[in-house]
Amino acid sequence: MLRACLAGTPTQTAAHLEYLRGFLPPGRLGRDTIRSIGTQVDDLLAACEDERRVDARSVDVTVALSDGRVLTGTVPSVRGDVVLSVVYSRLAAKHRLTSWVRLLALVASTGDAELRAVTVGRTKDGAARSDLRGLSPEVARGVLDLLVRIRDAGLREPLPLALETSHVYAASRRRMSSANALAKAQYRWESDRFDPERDEPEHVLAFGSRAPFATLTAQQSSGADAVPDEPTRFGSLARAVWDLLVMAEVQQ
C-alpha cells in the first residue's frame, strides 16, 4: 500500500485494492486492519509531503576509488536534490546506512554538494525523519574509500561490527565516555528486551549462540582500523562507519 501511494495512487484507492487482494481478515476485522495501516501510511506520506511533490527518477553513478577500482550502480528514488526513502518499518540503523551510501555515491559522482538524503520510517505515534546533508564531493569519495576498505576486511573475516550495536556506540560516543557508550552498546547487543542483536542468525553463525559483548570488544584497536581514543577494534570500526553519518544527520 505504501509503495502504491509513493507511486501516485490515492490512499483510498490503494487501501481498497489491498482489501480486494483477499489477504486481510473478512468483514469488520479486515476493515479495521486496513484502516489502521492506512493511518500509518498517511503519517509516513505526510512526513515527506514536500519531497514527494517532485517526480522520482533513478540516477546512474560512477565513482573512481583511490585504489583504482570503480564503483558503479544506480541510485533510485531521487526527487530533485533529495534521495528519498520511505519504509513501513521503524526507522533503524540499516535504513540510515543505506541512504548514507546512496548519498555518498551520488555526491561523489555528480559533484553536487547540495544533495540530501531523507529517510522516513514509523514511530510508535507517527513518523520519524532522518535528513543527511552537508557533504562535499571530496569527503564523499573519502568515506566511500573507507567503507570499501571495511567491506574488503569483512570478506576476509567476521568483523566486530554488528550494525545496530555499532550505531548505538558511535552515536553515544559523541556525548559520553567510551565506558558509558560501551555500556549502552552492550545492552543493545545482549540485553535488549525484545530482540538482542546477538540472536540474529548472521551473528550466531559468526560468533556462536548467545555470544557475550566481550566477543566484540576482545580485539585491540591497531593498524589501519585504529581511531584515536578508541581502545577496541569494535569502537574504531563503529566510529569509522558511523561518525560522519551521525554528524551529518538531522533527526525530526
Cell numbers representing residue 108 in the block: 561523489
Query: 10 Å Cβ neighbour count for 44?
Result: 21
Are 160 and 237 spatial neighbours (Cβ–Cβ below 8 Å)?
A: yes
Are 170 and 241 spatial neighbours (Cβ–Cβ below 8 Å)?
A: yes
Could you give the CA distance from residue 61 to residue 5 in angstroms, rounded to a whole number?
27
pTM greater than 0.95 (yes/no): no
pLDDT digits (tens), the chain, 252 positions: 999 999 999 988 998 898 888 888 888 998 899 999 999 999 999 999 999 999 999 999 999 999 999 999 999 999 999 999 999 999 999 999 999 999 999 999 999 999 999 999 999 889 999 999 999 999 999 999 999 999 999 999 999 999 999 999 999 998 888 899 999 999 999 987 778 999 999 999 999 999 999 999 999 988 777 888 899 999 999 999 999 999 999 987
What residues pair up with 129 in beta bridges, in sequence order? 120
